[in-house]
Structure 1
């Protein structure tokens, strides 16, 4: 059970980080336009 929780937590962290990176990239693209 602990391994499953660990994978879920790691996945959530990766999803949040990737989402934040995408948002930052979109903001940069808007500024360039």
Structure 2
């Protein structure tokens, strides 16, 4: 991959991490409101 692979992988991992955090928050809030 090389240097380009590193520059491409970082934003992708950041986006995936952010989506995971959002999904976890939504699921937690939805469960609390649902019950």
State the distance in 2 between where 1:19 and 1:2 align: 27
TM-score, scaled to structure 2? 0.71
The number of residue pairs the alignment matches comes to 29
| 2:22 corresponds to 1:25 | no
Runs of 4+ in 1 over 3 A off after TM superposition: none
TM-score when scaled to structure 1? 0.74
Supply the RMSD in Å over aligned alpha carbons.
Answer: 0.8
**Structure 1: 5+ residue stretches without partners:** none
